[in-house]
Structure 1
């Protein structure tokens, strides 16, 4: 026995007939909430990854995990020559002993303040004195003539081969007035 359906369907069944008011309303737009939540979670995971890498870099190194604190090194212009009437005998200075470990791997070779932006910049020469290819992070501070700290910056270089020299810049975004001196405050070296 076959089942038969009525030919006259009740109101609301089947395809809708166009109304006098115009075209049927458009379907609702899809929400982007899923994308926003997904990218937000991805950003949080990325941030945690970066924090973890910075933590490993700051703590670990190829020198047993000890980041070094280096005494201040100041680059300044040489003193003016003595007057002609004053004759002094030249004094012999003992050559400065280079610190061991990563402390002696970074030197300030230039220190200036950009005349347009007022931002101080230090030119840093990194020399890998270890036997392994290494990565470096060099912390530099900028001080005025009285020793007051005006700003700080970092210079970094990766995959520096043993005995290789690399030039890097430590650029601060702190605006300063007048002359500054640049000091290396910390050198971190770890194997690549």
Structure 2
């Protein structure tokens, strides 16, 4: 039997063909796919954050923006309600961002060093919720005070009110 004459000898490859320089190279589309993928992720994450910030129980309030207006039952993980331990000491719009911002002073009235979680609701002059945020403080010694802050995540305009809706304390 004879061997085919179009096979190259071992170790030799056919010479490369000259590219056609008159046409631009073919694009794979990977850049578009990556760009749309990143855009989709940003939209999904942004939407999830916006949804999380705009949902939840509206606990109302008495219009007193300096102390907690409602208490929650003790949590299974050892957290207890401590509405008298937090007070809003400053409320307004942050300088450049114009996001709602609150400064909160926490006083540990318990006999143990504790961690705090203070939920703040930002409302406009008409009482409609603009945003909500959480201020935290860890390792607050018994009988001492600590100042912390909370900030909304979207710009606002005009006068705002900051209301504490929940204060949770967990002894260390």
Select 1:21's aligned residue among 13, 17, 27.
13
Post-superposition Cα deviations, 1:35-82, rounded to whole Å, max 9, x if no partner, equal xxxxxxxxxxxxxxxxxxxxxxxxxxxxxxxxxx9865326xxxxxxx
Measured in 1, the distance between the counterparts of 2:131 and 2:153 equals 8
Size of the aligned set, in residue pairs, is 108
Select 2:64's aligned residue among 64, 73, 79.
73
Other-structure match for 2:107: 127
Measured in 2, the distance between the counterparts of 1:115 and 1:178 equals 13
Measured in 2, the distance between the counterparts of 1:70 and 1:103 equals 13
TM-score by length of 2: 0.56
Other-structure match for 1:148: 128
Write out the 4+ residue segments of structure 1 that deviate beyond 2 Å after TM superposition. 69-73
Deviation at 1:155, TM superposition (A): 0.2
Other-structure match for 1:138: 118
Give unpaired runs (5+ residues) of structure 2: 1-9, 15-59, 72-80
What SS class does the counterpart of residue 127 from structure 2 fall into?
A: coil
Deviation at 1:146, TM superposition (A): 1.6
Contact kept in structure 2, 1:72 and 1:184, CA below 8 Å: no
Deviation at 1:130, TM superposition (A): 0.1
RMSD, aligned α-carbons:
2.8
Structure whose residues are more often strand by fraction: 2
Measured in 2, the distance between the counterparts of 1:102 and 1:72 equals 19
Which structure has the larger Rg over C-alpha atoms? 1
Other-structure match for 1:13: none
Deviation at 1:164, TM superposition (A): 1.3
Deviation at 1:116, TM superposition (A): 2.3
Quick check: 1:113 aligned with 2:112? no
Other-structure match for 1:188: 168
Quickly say closer, same or farther: Cα 1:157–1:70, change in 2 above 3 A: farther
Deviation at 1:115, TM superposition (A): 3.9
Other-structure match for 2:82: 102
